[in-house]
Amino acid sequence: MKKLLSTFFLLSSLFYFSQGIAFENSDFKSILAKAKKENKLIFLDAYTSWCGPCKLMAKNIFTQKSVGDLYNGHFVNAKIDMEKGEGIELAKKFKVNAYPTYLFINGDGEVVHRTLGYVEEKDFLQFAKDAEDPTRRIGALKKQFEEGEKNPEFLKNLANLTVYTEPDFTARVLDRYFTDKISLDKDDVNLLLQAINSSER
């Protein structure tokens, strides 16, 4: 009976954990090789042990079945503490300055898309879809900006995506965004504070 119960609980726990994202348990070099071999992007959760939103994402979002289905099927998933071991150099290489940061990296080690912060399930699923669509990745969005895109929501999104990695570029985006602004809302103020903070780093 004890063996039967032990087996039941083991299977139950495996089923529970299989609902969410399955993260690789190996070094980044091996993860990179696997992504290249399988022709997939890497999804990298760049986190720290003290980061509250990181813990909430791990508890509330990464464990969702819909999230696991999409991320496990389309990406090689990695979770690395940016303040320990190889994470320290990866943080420098990929310009990770805020947590959690989510990186989508190709098999050549190039970041093709990135975003950050605590987000709900729907938005987190959209991040994955954007990362797989070359027309919605950061490079494509920056090109749209250079071609003159003025949509306020587009500009705000682009500023949020680049504020911690490309402060000079973000300043140009915000300059365009605020040109026709008559009043500021809470999001605008937060974005300005983030831009000021990142430019002082």
Catalytic center residues? 51, 54
Give the start-to-end residue ranges of the domains of the chain. Answer: 19-133, 139-199
- Please compute the mean of the pLDDT values over residues 31-35 and round it to a whole number: 97
pLDDT of residue 170: 93
pLDDT of residue 182: 87
Please tell me the distance from the alpha carbon of residue 182 to that of residue 184, in angstroms, as a whole number.
7
- The tens digit of pLDDT for each residue in 16-29 reads 445 899 999 999 99
- Please compute the mean of the pLDDT values over residues 31-59 and round it to a whole number: 97
pLDDT of residue 9: 47
- The tens digit of pLDDT for each residue in 60-93 reads 999 999 999 999 999 999 999 999 999 999 999 9
- Would you state the torsion angle of the CA atoms of residues 48, 54, 58, 60, taken in this order, to the nearest 10 degrees? 170
- The tens digit of pLDDT for each residue in 107-130 reads 999 999 999 999 999 999 999 999
Residue 150: pLDDT above 90? Answer: yes
Asked if residues 114 and 107 have their Cβ atoms less than 8 Å apart, the reply is no
Q: Which amino acid does the sequence have at 183?
A: S
> Whole-prediction pTM value?
0.80
Residue 115: Cβ-neighbour burial (10 angstroms; 0-12, 13-18, 19+): buried
Please tell me the distance from the alpha carbon of residue 179 to that of residue 90, in angstroms, as a whole number.
36
pLDDT of residue 194: 82
- What's the CATH code, domain 19-133? 3.40.30.10
pLDDT of residue 200: 63
